[in-house]
Amino acid sequence: MFEAFFPIVVLIGLVTFAALAMTALSVLIGKRTKSRVKEEPYESGIEPTGDTKERFSVKFYMIAILFIVFDIEVVFLYPWAVISKHLGLFGLIEILVFIAILLVGYFYVLRAGALKWD
- For residues 23 and 30, give the distance between their C-alpha atoms in angstroms, rounded to a whole number: 10
**Residue 36: closest CA among 48, 24, 50:** 48
| Largest Cα–Cα separation, the chain | 65
pLDDT digits (tens, 9 = 90+) for 7-41: 999 999 999 999 999 999 999 998 888 887 777 76
* Domain boundaries, given as residue ranges, for the chain: 2-112
pLDDT digits (tens, 9 = 90+) for 76-107: 888 888 998 898 899 899 999 999 998 998 89
Domain 2-112, what fold? Methane Monooxygenase Hydroxylase; Chain G, domain 1 (1.20.58)
